[in-house]
Amino acid sequence: MTQDLLQLQVSGIEAMVLTGIYSEETHLPQPLRVSVTVDLKLPATKYAPDTPLTASKNYLDLKRAVTESLPEGLHFTLIEAVADHICAELFAEDERVMRVEIGIVKLAISLDGEQIGIRMVRHR
């Protein structure tokens, strides 16, 4: 049986993050482009025109998980650790979040418009 769900998406968030393994990467933050998708359990009743925001999740929470939850000054060796940090933040703040998908592109190494990075999916 397929379970109904709601997906919230925020894409193209640019964040400066200390990340990398090479010496030239470890001193200054690098620009990352982050996309976040979360799957939420849907309530038993359908959304009506006057349904309050509390019946869903504010998609700005997804943006804040990228722009505000990453500790300033903390160096993440791998962008996978950045993705895991964002996932943990979103799971911790809302029990309705059942799945988080994070896409990260390292802009500093994307010279010709290619999208070099990772996609991570975590389930509760």
**In which domain, by residue range, is 37 found?**
5-123
Strands 117-123 vs 5-17: parallel, antiparallel or unpaired = unpaired
Q: What is the pTM of this model?
A: 0.90
Q: How many domains does the chain have?
A: 1
Q: Which band of pLDDT confidence, cut at 50, 70 and 90, is reported for residue 23? A: low
d(CA 38, CA 18): 25
As a whole-number percent, the residues of the chain with pLDDT over 90 amount to: 69
For residue range 91-112, list pLDDT tens digits in order: 999 999 999 999 999 998 877 8
Facing residues of 97 across strands? 40
CATH number of the structural domain spanning residue 13: 3.30.1130.10
For residue range 63-95, list pLDDT tens digits in order: 999 999 998 889 999 999 999 999 999 999 999
Q: What is the mean pLDDT of residues 116-121?
A: 96
